[in-house]
Amino acid sequence: MAPVDPHSYTDSTHPLTNHIALTFYFDFPSSTIFTSTLISLPAPHSGPFTLDTRSLSISSVLDPTTHKPLPFTLAAAIDPILGQYVTITLSNQSQDTPAARVRYTAKLNVPLHLSAVMAAKHVERKDPVAGESLGACEDSVWCEEGRVVEEFVMEQPVPPYLFAFAVGELGFREVGPRTRVYAEAVPNILDAASKEFAGTEEMIRVGERLFGPYDWERFDLLVLPPSFPYGGMENPRMVFLTPTVIKGDATGAQVVAHELAHSWTGNLITNKTNDHFWLNEGFTTYAERRIVEAVQGEDRAALNIGIGWRGLVEEMDRFKDNMEFTKLKTNQEGVDPDDIYSQVPYEKGFQFLWRIERQIGRPAFDVFLKKYIATFKFQSIDTDTFIDFLKANIPGIEEQIDLELWVEGTGIPPDAMEPVSNIYSKIVSLANEFQLGRMPKEDEVADWHGQEWELYLENLPKSVEASQVSALDARYRLSESKDYEVKVAFLQLAISSRCRDYYYEVEKTLKEVGRMKYLRPLYTALVQGTGKEEEKTFAKRVFSEACDCYHPIARGVVEAILAKFS
């Protein structure tokens, strides 16, 4: 239950949460989590206290001091985006918005043979004690034989959306002094993950050199099942990852670099609302590429930027009928963020910061960036706050760069820039030659990894002859790639070229992964456009057979795609 103020994020009369104490009882046979949440306010408050809820069944609201019920009401209407408001009437009681940051403690009661991990500091694993459930369940249930309590604490203030835990049969491998890799207790999965992420400590040290001290003590990684809908989730202390980032050649470490970069950007400094999401992701993408450049070299960073540039260009076409969502500072009132999730805040945000760096030089920008992080760490800000800070610390910048165009303008500003590097230019040139019937020679691609192939495929024309697609795959086996970035890019090309020989591989992919980055383009390629009745029927059948294995968010995204082009 995440508190929100539905009216204003700056209303000083709205009580901000000071601390949350949570208890959870996991009942696996009934697929139910029983929980109690103790919300503490920094000062006594009287009047309504409004929170949003989603998919919760609320049994009671109590004053923790007197244990007497507090009046509460649930809104009659359920908002499809925010859920259902619950309003609690307080009378001088000491009891968040997406802008708020809170500290918390948590106790997770789980079966003895399972383990719990959390994006917080682990305190201890212990026997259950009567009275500590805070009403999540009866003491007799809490203290049943065969149960254990895992206790955690988050001592730094974090935004509520970064609260995360996982329970299961988990194992781990140590990969550095500050990092463990957790996954299902399957040796080959753990071994592959630990090999992929062996360089994590080096990236942490590079980040500290570039951006200042690492404030979260540990940086652990949890590899989740394939249904996880995102590439990674940047929870402080423990990043959650999809298994598709394990690619066998250490390039998956770049996803870790992105989530690590959040440790100095999005986790330390939070955007007040989704209208300012670029403050999280633009800064994080910039920081990620600086880490990649330092660890893996300038060419690797240029490839990263090039793939991002191509993605940004494609988003302009996607939103051509609603350019509002090509802005950095957007108006998302009444819009489900999952419906408009895109690369714009990441890549246009990166381009904006990169433009500032080019204007004032990297040494001066590094000084600015460290000061920005030190000034706003553990706070929530908005775009206007950043722009004011930028103008105050880089005098005259508004005369050198059109800040308003970058922040509030649509599309890609004319002073944005593609990367410049020999490898990037070579790959784009080879992609252009494919249109003339020339396939890259084996010696030209001998040292290519996933990113090179991804960039090559992304720069091919959207529709080529089916025979060309088959010939390319016959030589390089791209449809069999273990790198899903490459595989999905190739399958999109096959679909757009009506090369139906690969539809079995499309079906297999859609049934074995749940990451929205792959589901969205494949389903869209199948159903978008004219004369695709066979593909639409195919897509609907595959979805009906696979949807139970998708995360609810991913399932909703695919349903929207199928409905839009039905």
List binding-site positions: 258, 262, 281
Cα–Cα distance for residue pair 155/99, rounded to 1 Å: 18
512 in catalytic set: no
Do strands 379-381 and 269-271 pair parallel, antiparallel, or not at all (unpaired)?
parallel
SS3 11: coil
**Which letter does DSSP use for residue 44 in this model?**
-
- Write out the two tokens for 439: 């396939």
Angle between the N-to-C axes of helices 349-360 and 298-318, in degrees from 0 to 180, rounded to the nearest 10: 130
Cα–Cα distance for residue pair 307/294, rounded to 1 Å: 19
Please enumerate, by residue number, every residue annotated as part of a binding site for Zn(2+): 258, 262, 281
The count of other CB atoms within 10 Å of the CB of residue 251 is 20
Cα–Cα distance for residue pair 144/164, rounded to 1 Å: 25
Q: Contact, 270 vs 379, CB < 8 A? A: yes
**Which letter does DSSP use for residue 69 in this model?**
B
Do strands 220-223 and 179-184 pair parallel, antiparallel, or not at all (unpaired)?
parallel
- On the CB side of 450, how many CA atoms lie within 13 Å of its CA? 24
Catalytic residue among 85, 346, 372, 550: 346
SS3 508: helix
Q: Which amino acid is at 49?
A: F
Bridge partners of 289?
A: none
Burial 406-416 (b: 16+ CB within 10 A, else e): bbebeebbeeb
Q: Contact, 315 vs 250, CB < 8 A? A: no
Angle between the N-to-C axes of helices 253-261 and 200-211, in degrees from 0 to 180, rounded to the nearest 10: 30
346 in catalytic set: yes
Catalytic residue among 259, 293, 315, 454: 259
> Is residue 79 exposed (0-12), middle (13-18) or buried (19+ Cβ within 10 Å)?
middle
Q: Which amino acid is at 250?
A: A
Residues marked active site are found at: 259, 346
